[in-house]
Structure 1
């Protein structure tokens, strides 16, 4: 049996490369997947069609996650589509603008924090209500569900011009630990996945030196793929991780294992 047979999952930001990779891997492991997007409707729809063409279940849901009520509505809509159940949430939606601290405005800071952190809080809170109400996992087993936040290795290894992004991702990691503590008694597990540099179309052309530096620094010698992040999320949502909560799973090809001196 596939690892996520019988699961109903919501993946936010599923119009982007990493989100599509997560959604695809969940579907390949048997989950019915709700793909959230805000503007990338065509990309999310293409992935949903691919999943359905392969015999899986998928739906595309639109929402602006800067709005608390929209977050709750998105979770509710996903659960209704899933027959009143939601067993897995992956908080993947996020932004990564560049801006030096010296010239950064409070509005620019808040735009990143609200998207990367506040939406995680709101979607998780709404999802936990649904998971607690359902009370059982796939097949009637114990356990209410899992939540996985997509953080970043920048949560502990900041880069220039990324202070707002790095701070938001560090907060995402701590939110998961705090949520794991408070939601654990309800059978809900909360973890984070922290990717390194993930391949996307045009990246090597837009940032050739950065890609070369990463490939030289990574012990495994390559950029990550969206499916690599998807595999980590599948693991954390699956029965294989039934006793894992409040943890950060780094998926970076070994870059952070290198000495910094």
Structure 2
């Protein structure tokens, strides 16, 4: 038996590094996985092929999550694919542009908030209606340690992620009676191809600050998401699980 046998999970932003790792880990734990992407059809398709080659079930679904109707359609398609039964949602899709606050436009602000926050609201609302029909389930948002510790040029991103954490707590309160648990996972700096070359000073500062002495891996985030969706976390809701190698424990003075 694996942790998620019999579950069907929708993972948004499943074509990217963290989303890909989440989808693969959920499949490895026995879940059928609906992989969402906006434009990365080829990347999401490769993940789906890997899942199927390993004996799992996967489908790729496309949607622009800045469109509320598209969010509801996405959830409906994921549920229909699984025979009407959806048990888990992972809200992972996000953008992270760098824009100093003094020159930020309202359009730039809205582009990040609509993708990183409003989509979470819409997908959660749609998924909760489906989960309720079958006695409950789990919803996990990917937030960030920037929800509590902002970085320069990330005012829009940090504000949206802080709101994502509070949305999960509010949703946990209101959806709890329906058997729906809602939590967040807040990653620290997660490694990706080319990061050390593109931002060497940032990587150096992180490695010096992290008690564990390394960058995060997408698999670290995926493991936290699996835990929260599994029976091991059956009495955990409204919680923010920080996955940052201990950076948040470091003194700031």
Which of the five TM-score ranges fits, normalised by the shorter chain? over 0.9
Per-residue Cα deviation, 1:66-115 (whole angstroms, up to 9, x for no partner): 00000000000000111101100000000001111110011110110010
| Aligned twin of 2:245 | 253
In structure 2, what is the Cα distance between the partners aligned to 1:41 and 1:252?
A: 30
Question: Following TM superposition, by how much is the alpha carbon of 1:134 offset from its aligned partner in structure 2, in angstroms?
Answer: 2.2
> 1: CA distance between counterparts of 2:174 and 2:161?
20
Partner of 2:159: 167
1:5 aligns with 2:5: yes
Say whether 1:115 aligns with 2:115: yes
SS of 2:45 mapped into structure 1? helix
Separation (CA, whole Å) in 2 of partners of 1:87 and 1:78: 10
The answer to whether the aligner puts 1:217 opposite 2:209 as a matched pair is: yes
Q: How many residues align?
A: 253
RMSD of aligned Cα (Å) = 0.6
**Long gaps (5+) in structure 2:** none
TM-score (norm 2): 0.99
1:218-233 correspondence to structure 2 within 5 Å: 218-233=210-225
2:78 aligned residue = 78
Runs of 4+ in 1 over 2 A off after TM superposition: none
- The aligned residue for residue 16 of structure 2 is 16
Q: Give unpaired runs (5+ residues) of structure 1.
A: 136-143
Write the distance in 2 (CA, Å) between the matches of 1:19 and 1:254: 22
